[in-house]
Chains A and B, each alone.
Chain A
Amino acid sequence: METGVSKHEMGFFSSVLDRLCLTPLGALLLVLLALLPLIPPFNQQYLLRWLTIVALSAASAIAFDLTAGFINIVNFGYAAILGLGAYTSAILAVRTGLSPWIGIFVGALASGLLGFLTGLLTLRLRGIFAAVMAWFIGLALMGLAIKMVWLTRGPLGLRVPRMFDTSSNEPYYYMMIVMLLVVYVICRWVTRSKMGLAFKAIGQNMEAARTSGVNPTYYRIVNFTLSCTIAGWLGGFYAHYMGILTPDLMHTSKTVEVLAVVYIGGRGSLWGGAFLAFPFLIAMELVRSGFSNLPGLHLVIYGVILILVMIYLPGGIASLYYRFLYKPWGKFWEFMVGYKEND
């Protein structure tokens, strides 16, 4: 909140970082991401393809955390909502020739609308109802995507026009990094505003929040809708990047993947899951391809790590940062570049 250093005391560098809600370390990592395609082995196309998908997962982890980490509701239909955005944008492009650049925003609106309606129905009740309802809606959406072959071509896969007229992965990668930053900044702006205080209050103690005058239904619906809108937007990118869309994108296991990344990375930190996604999902992909005779092994590993983290490190990787690195790093950066965190 606005309790720290006031704006005019900050230097130019600090105030830019503050607008982007980044610490110097975060900015450094972002620069590293931008340079990654130049560094071997990541200059190979197939690795860049992985990285792009991982960055997409990182961005969806941020929007998932907005709901799971702040208002304490796990959106089990998350992947399906993302898929709805993907299919909306894809079908519009295929049927009406709508430009993907507009389509991904229409997809975002469709997902946001569904999120809003789901929220309107369930978010006056306890959190578990929203979680279960979203899950069912997710299953239903996936069922529709499989059965409505005339529209989606079902499991055969819908061929989708791509965004850029090139076979190279670089433009997609950089666009995804920009989208990752945009998603992060939107979620950060929201959560450090007054609205974010309401989200946290509702997530941490519903009764105290209501007694303090916070209307839980309103803020939960806003939160849920925003998270779903972002998911739909990311889904649209996915469709026009992959060039082919199949219904298993919407499977609950995809939601669980995002959930694992968010929980292990640190619920409620926003950046924890996004940060973790890169090493973790790449490692998991290596496990999957390395042990191809043991399908599903990576899911077992997800489960084991998830349980261990929930028992021994409930704050996730992010809490390790806050416990050990936060203060020394803060001093270091204050000394180096005059940056002071406005907490």
Chain B
Amino acid sequence: MSLLETIAVTKQFGGLTAVNRVSMHVDEGEIVGLIGPNGAGKTTFLNAIAGLNPPTSGTVRAFGEDTTGLTPEKMCHRGLSRTFQIPRPFPKMTALENVMAAAIFGNRRKPPRDPVAHSREMLEFVEFPESEKTVSENLNTVQLKRLDLARALASSPRLLFLDELAAGLTEGELKDIITIIRKIQENGVTILMVEHIMQLIMNVCDRLVVIQFGSKIAEGPTREVAQDPKVTEAYLGKSQ
């Protein structure tokens, strides 16, 4: 059964159609990559599902029920977590408090007995390099991405959205992230990730969905889609 299914999801901003009738599904246990050129509407699509910016039309079904237009906090309580492309923590809180907010308020289904210990565990899981007492406005982007991931995991999601988690990482950091993503999957979390870095996509994604100009142009197992001429064309332009 699909954990997440979208049917003809459309998002319009005034006259501009940012996402145009995208239908796709994510099965339980999968890692699905959502790829496409810059400005294709990938993040908008994630926002439409996660509730930050509800779709103009179409249906979103998650966890076996219709969740179209539910608020982000309700989606979080149902088991959907996400990281942000530009990490957005709570700037004046310590790293630990950042994670605790999600551990305390995001866990409606099975609240952890000790939110502090649970949060520490999450920071350890993502190999957070700084002290848990560091105030998060003092962290750099790479550290913020780890913190954001720990925050997203703290609410014990069943479905996790990763929005360009690996952008700007070095080769070594990329390897770490791949290991972490695999570990998240082994813990039974289904992942939908927006990503540009091919090394990561080829390594972890089971299936790919390709979006261009707001419309889905391809979908299928990673190897097949990567060799699809339509997809190379979308990225590189038409060969003469």
Contacts and interface: CB of A to CB of B under 8 A. Distances in A.
Interface of A: 1-3, 194, 197-198, 200-201, 204-205, 207-216, 268
B127 to A, nearest CB: 20
A209 B155 CA distance: 12
Contact of B97 (A197, A209, A216, A268): A197
Nearest to A213: B106
Interface size classification for chain B = 20 to 34
B71 A210 contact: yes
Contacts of B155: 212-213
A1 B77 CA distance: 23
A3 B93 CA distance: 13
B85 to A, nearest CB: 12
B52 A210 contact: yes
A204 B73 contact: no
15 contacts: A200-B97, A204-B92, A204-B93, A205-B91, A207-B52, A207-B88, A208-B88, A209-B90, A210-B72, A211-B72, A211-B73, A211-B81, A212-B151, A213-B76, A213-B106
Given A197-B101, A213-B106, A3 B72 contact: no
A201 B72 contact: no
Interface string B212-240: 00000000000000000000000000000
Interface of B: 50-52, 71-73, 76-77, 81-82, 84, 88-93, 96-97, 100-102, 104-108, 116, 151-152, 154-155
Contacts of A200: 90, 92-93, 97, 101
B44 to A, nearest CB: 14
A319 B186 CA distance: 45
A204 B107 contact: no
B35 to A, nearest CB: 23
B90 A213 contact: no
Contacts of A1: 97, 100, 116
Given A204-B92, A205-B91, A212 B101 contact: yes
Contacts of A211: 50, 52, 72-73, 76, 81-82, 84, 152
Given A1-B100, A204-B91, A213-B73, 16 more contacts: A198-B101, A200-B93, A200-B97, A201-B90, A201-B93, A204-B90, A204-B93, A207-B88, A209-B101, A210-B72, A211-B50, A211-B73, A211-B84, A213-B77, A213-B105, A213-B107
